[in-house]
Each structure stands twice: as structure tokens, then as C-alpha cells.
Structure 1
Amino acid sequence: MRFGVSYSTAGNGMNPDRLLRFAQHAEACGFESFYVPEHLVLYPGAQVYGNELPADLEFADPLDLLTFVAAATHRIVLGTAVLLLPYRHPIVLAKRLATIDALSRGRMRLLTIGLGSLPGEAEAMGVDFATRGRRADESIDALRQLWGGDAEFNGVVVRSYPKPFNGDVLPIHVAGSSAPAARRAGKRGDGYFPGGALTPTDRAAQWELVRSTAAANGRDPDALEYTRWGSINAGPSQVEVLAAEGVTRLVVNAFGDTLDEQLDQLSAFASRHKLAT
């Protein structure tokens, strides 16, 4: 099992000193990865899982934030949970991700993409909410073509540089709690990262759908990573249960009121699970 940590810029999380202390402490504790979320815009009445998001909730650009973190860390792997793929142009995105990966020496390896669940956000971006699944599929294919060699856009064959570190094609993980998301992960993804609003029975069914879709498309189900959200208070026995379900990575949030409380939570989790050993 690998362990990641998620960072929120809400509140005073955009303070650069706070951000770097958190990221560097997570790395020193032995966490494998550092995740950040994305919303491009919010609006009054926007809801996720039935909970309204304040329209002034602060979300940094995840790629700019991860670039900042990469420059101040050495080992921790960089991730998004999630990047809203239908709202980004694949040519621009491919270059930005490859640049971060090259400059961090191969640490931009946990790109997790989602479709977005806020119709108003799609409308503000000029995207038809009903077509965002198709747009995401096309973008996944386009990103891999741009990283791997030639790609064709509007009848023009193009190449994009820089390439990711060591000429790799970056992994793409798929987020979402729906059946289409699970099928997308099995058909096109390198891993699956479902959301939190699922029952244990639903989770098992979704993971089986990921694996069966992969097999039906000639892919190796055992090669797919399975990432889940978890509690910062989780103990070894809870992790063992998740591992038995096929989970390969657990991502936790530190929820203390102050930065020191959050850092103490990271330290306690790392000690319980012997991350630094």
C-alpha cells in the first residue's frame, strides 16, 4: 500500500510558507504523493454530493501549485484529485504536464482526471455539460499521442515538446463514482480513483467493472492502480481491509484547525504505518 496526502487551499492554504511546510513535512514523513483538487469557477448554489460549496471557496490552479511544490521538494510524487479534463485544451495541457514532469525529474505521475459535476462551471467554460464524457475520452487519447510522438489536430500533424522525463507517456488515472467512469478507467486509464459517495457494495461492483472492462479491451486488469480516499485516523487493520479489496494507494486529508495540528496528524499517521522506515 502506498499513501498520499491531499492539500486544500481553502482558508489560508494559499499562504506559500504554509503550503511548503505542509508539503515538505509530508515528504519527510514518508508519504508517497501530494494531491491537490481543482475547480475553475464556483457560483452560488453549486453543490457536490448534496453539499453546497461557498462561491468564494479558494481553489488554486493545480498545475501552478504543483510546480511550486516540486521546486521545494525532492521525492514526493505530484498528483491531481481531480483535474477537470473536459475544460482544458489537450495541446496546452500536454505541454504543461510534460514541463512539470521534466523539471521535477519524473514526479508528475499521478494525474487524476474527472469530468466535473457542476453544470454552471461547464457553462461558464463554454462546454456542453452533456458532452464532457466524450471530450474527456478524446483528450486522454490526444494527450498520449502528444507525449508519445505525432498527433493530428484539425488536419495538421503536430509534435509537442518537451516530452515527459525520460521520454515517458504520463499515467492517467480516472476519477468518478459512476459506471461510465469505471468503464473509462478500465478502457483508457492507468488507474481508478472513485469518489466518496459509494456504499461498500457499490465500490466492489465499480472496481469489478473497471477490471472486466480492462479485460474486455485486451488490457491487463492487474496493471491498474486502485486509489481510494481514507481517514487520517485509519489504523493498520483498516488498511489491511482496503488492501484485501485491491486498493493500492490511500489518500488522506489532514483536517486540524491549525497548520501545526495538521502536521501532527501527518506525523501520527506516518508513525502508525511506519512510512519513513
Structure 2
Amino acid sequence: MRLGVTMFTTDVAMPVPDLARAAEERGLSSLYVPEHTHIPVSRRTPHPGGLGELPAEYRRTLDPLVALSFAAAATTRLRVGTGILLAAQRDPIVTAKAIATLDHLSGGRVVVGVGFGWNAEEIENHGVRYARRREVARHHVLAMRTLWRDEVAAFDGFEPSWSWPKPVNGAPPVYVGGAAGPKLFAHVAEYADGWMPIGGHGIKAALPALRLACEKAGRPMARVIPFGTRPTREKLEYFAGLGVEEAVATLPSGPADVVLPVLDEYATLIS
């Protein structure tokens, strides 16, 4: 069982290179960072987790791909991932180039966690209707996969084009985040390598439906990475019994004196 971590990286939290080095030194396998391009002040959309006032880190989130470039440069083995990238809010040509460049420079250490987003105002400010965010995200990920894969890439939205560098291993693994359900599993089965359930609750009950969706798509079973979990040794053993190979634990968004003790605690779970 591998254990990675995720943290809201901000301009006032522990610097990303220091965080990445500390995670790698403790034997943790990966570092994932989230994305919010901006947070409209209207707060028209409630947080899906029931938060009232959003924590300050939502307002201060670093760009994930820029942050991960610093994490990759500061380490040699640590996998660096988005958790999650808001694919509907991004230009797929520019994003495919940025991800491929990061993967090339890091030696193939990039993981792309994608999601659909929950903040209607944020999404709509990018010219995407909230009701279409899943459709747009799907289109963008498929476009990026085409750019990563094909020497001359052509897709709905751009003419036959060259786009280099290519990712080291053909394409970085793509995971779709979100709650279990037929719509989400259809996305996973069509264009992703796996599923990132938030927290990890209910995975066992959901696995048959995910397996069925993959069988219908004629592909192998998707991998599962419980994301943002609060790990214990017992929980990690439970995940391993389900065939899970990696889980991602939550770190507080704060300075080093707050983050390092939690990293030390997590390191004891995999020692």
C-alpha cells in the first residue's frame, strides 16, 4: 500500500518545494494539489461538504501545474498530481501542453486527477454553463488524450496539429474524482484510468458497479485511489484488501510547524 498526501497549496502555507521534499524523505509516494482559478465572493453555490464560510485557502489556491513543477524539481521519486484539475474550466490545447511538459521534465511522474467542479459561479465565469460542465470536461480530456497520443492530432475543436513533447509513458494516468454513480462511472470507463472517491467511504459497495461499467466499455477494471482520506493503519489495510494500491491523505493547509507533525504521523503508517 502506497500513501500519498494532498494539501491546499497557497501563498501563505508551507512552500511547495519544502513540502514535496519532506513528503519524499518520509517515504510518501505522491503529492496532489487542488485547483480553484478564483472564488467569486457571491457564495451563491453552497459547498457540497456542508461548509458554511469557506476556509481562507479556497481564496488563495496556487495554480496546480505551476506548483507541481516546483514539487517535481525539488524531488526525484515523488509522483506529482492534480487533485483535482477542473478540466471544464481549462483550454485543452494549452493544458495538454503544460501537462506533457511537466511530465517530460519530471521523468514521467505526473498523475492527472480531473473533476467537474461544484462552484457554479466559478465555472460560469469561464463561459461554461454549470449544467454542461461534465460534457465539457469529457470533451477536454478526450482532446488532451489525442494531443498526448497522436503524432498528428485532430479533434473536434482544432485542426490536425503537432504538439510536443509527448508524455514519457504515452499518457499520464487520468483519474476522475467524484461520488459513485452511473454517470461518473461511465466517464471513468470511457476515458480514465481510475476513480478518485473523496474520503473513501462506500468504496466496497461501489466496486461492482464500477467493474460492470468497465466491462461494458470492454476495458480492464479501473484503479481506485481513495482521496482526501484520514488514514489509520486499519483503514489502509481495509483498502488493501479491496485491491487498492494507493490512498491519498489530507494535510492541513498551513506553515511547516503545522504540516510536518502530520507528515511524521503518516510516515509511521507505512514504516
| TM-score, normalised by the number of residues in structure 1 | 0.87
Question: Which of 183, 187, 196 is the matching residue for 2:186?
Answer: 183
User: In the TM superposition, what whole-angstrom CA distance separates every residue of 1:104-152 from its partner, at most 9, and x where no partner exists?
Assistant: 11111x1000011111111111111111111122122211111111322
**Do the aligned partners of 2:11 and 2:62 also contact (CA within 8 Å) in 1?**
no
1:105–1:257 distance in 2 versus 1, CA, 3 Å? closer
Matched residue type, 1:107: R
Question: Which of 149, 166, 188 is the matching residue for 1:163?
Answer: 166
Could you say which residue in structure 2 is the equivalent of 1:229?
227
Which range moves more in the overlay, 146-155 or 72-81?
146-155
Could you say which residue in structure 2 is the equivalent of 1:218?
218
Could you say which residue in structure 2 is the equivalent of 1:98?
100
3-state secondary structure, aligned to 2:225: strand
Which range moves more in the overlay, 88-97 or 264-273?
264-273
Could you say which residue in structure 1 is the equivalent of 2:51?
51
3-state secondary structure, aligned to 1:51: coil
1:186–1:204 distance in 2 versus 1, CA, 3 Å? farther
Deviation at 1:256, TM superposition (A): 8.2
Deviation at 1:266, TM superposition (A): 1.2
Identity %: 33
Deviation at 1:9, TM superposition (A): 2.4
1:144–1:59 distance in 2 versus 1, CA, 3 Å? same
Which range moves more in the overlay, 173-182 or 89-98?
173-182
User: In the TM superposition, what whole-angstrom CA distance separates every residue of 1:73-130 from its partner, at most 9, and x where no partner exists?
Assistant: 111001111000011111111100000000111111x100001111111111111111
Number of residue equivalences: 263
3-state secondary structure, aligned to 1:165: coil
Higher relative contact order (CA 8 A, sep 6+): 2
Distance 1:257 1:120 in 2: 27
Matched residue type, 2:211: R
1:54–1:253 distance in 2 versus 1, CA, 3 Å? closer
| TM-score, normalised by the number of residues in structure 2 | 0.89
RMSD: 2.2
3-state secondary structure, aligned to 1:125: coil
Matches within 5 A, 1:115-264: 115-149=116-150, 150-152=152-154, 153-154=156-157, 156-165=159-168, 168-179=170-181, 180-196=183-199, 200=202, 203-221=203-221, 224-229=222-227, 231=229, 234-255=231-252, 258-264=255-261
